Amino acid sequence: MAVRWPRGFRSAAAAAGIKSGGELDFALLATEAPAPWAGAFTRNAAAAPCVTWSRGLLGKPVRALSVNSGNANCCTGGQGQEAVVSTARAVAGEVGCSPDEVLVASTGPIGVPLRVELLLDAVPALVGSVAADATPFARAILTTDTVIKTSEAVLDGASIAGVAKGAAMIQPNMATMLAFITTDAQVPAESMQPAFERVVARTFNRISVDACESTNDSAFLLSTGLGARVAPGDFEHALQSVCADLAGQIVRDAEGGTRVVRIAVSGAPNEQAALRLGRAVAASTLWRAAAHGGDPNWGRVVSALGSADSSLDLGALEVNIGGEAVFTRGEPRASCAKVAAAMRADEFTVECVVGAGRAAAEILSCDLSPAYVRLNAGGTT
């Protein structure tokens, strides 16, 4: 079923020519009136100029959001910075607003000069064809994704709709590759940023495809307020369900991925420690290769945990894979046949009890296959 934007939002998509195959590669999201918004962005020092531009607009209501795929417009010097400004000006001129009411996002290869004139030429038709259907927008933002990623939640008198893209270069330090969340719920503008940051921390920041942080990661939450007033707790719960759904779709569409692996860490002294340990396992190339092969090489899990915490007490450690105990308090317990069978499932869980603490965290990750290497061995050629 096609996802429609909440009240007050419209979007359009075009094939501007950034992608060589004639696919949709330029999209616009517009609002009827200035809308408050919240954002989360990469902390990468090599952040693209679109990230710097949009991050600089935090706290200011916006009227539109422009996004192109097929070119990250990152590390492209002054030309790249001017491309962002030119795009914002062109969109603003057609929408009827100020350039500082236009958010900008880009995704694609790094270091390739953006032919911004292709975007500028496409802006008038783009603005003139906006509609409530989110599907063309969702398709225009894809790069190596194989499917569009959308999600929605219905509240009492309001709704939330989200669109995302991402399949690799995923271990966010804020959000995900790109995510656009919209709502017509009446929520206090001042509450949006802290609520979004909490949700991002619990969803987009807990996935890992390849432990590679992107330069263009951006997530946006916009509200028109044209729907019903929603209790803050109910809104945040629904927002989290949408973002968690999108985050899961990203991992399931991971480049070369064949199975989803949940890394569940418990017994940690605090949540940050649990997250650090979970991410270490999710980032282990050795473990991810074993996960692809269905090889119950649980020593790679233990090794990853030990590398993340040199004070880890093996005498208190318990590791289960697919519900099967493999290591308990310093002793191997593996039944290799049973563990290997569990690892052949489309999705399985690695449970790591690391002590007697009360904190826990879960990272959603995937396996590492030859297809991932093939895809990324020629990413710009």
Catalytic pick among 31, 143, 176, 203: 176
- Contacts by 287-292 with C-beta closer than 8 Å and gap 24+? 288/261, 288/365, 288/366, 288/367, 288/368, 289/367, 289/368, 291/259, 291/261, 291/343, 291/366, 291/367, 291/368, 292/258, 292/259, 292/367, 292/368, 292/369
d(CA 239, CA 54): 21
Q: Is 176 a catalytic residue?
A: yes
CA within 13 Å, CB half, 176: 32
**CA angle at residue 290 from 285 to 295, to 5 degrees?**
165
d(CA 81, CA 67): 15
d(CA 167, CA 233): 31
List, in sequence order, every residue forming a beta bridge with 14; answer none if it has no partner. Answer: 26
SS3 285: helix
Task: Count Cβ neighbours within 10 Å for each residue of 260-287 and write b for 16 or more, e otherwise.
Answer: bbbbbbbbbeeeebbbbbbbbbbbbeeb
d(CA 140, CA 39): 21
d(CA 231, CA 255): 38
d(CA 84, CA 109): 16
**Are 173 and 217 contacting, i.e. CB atoms less than 8 angstroms apart?**
yes
Active site residues: 176
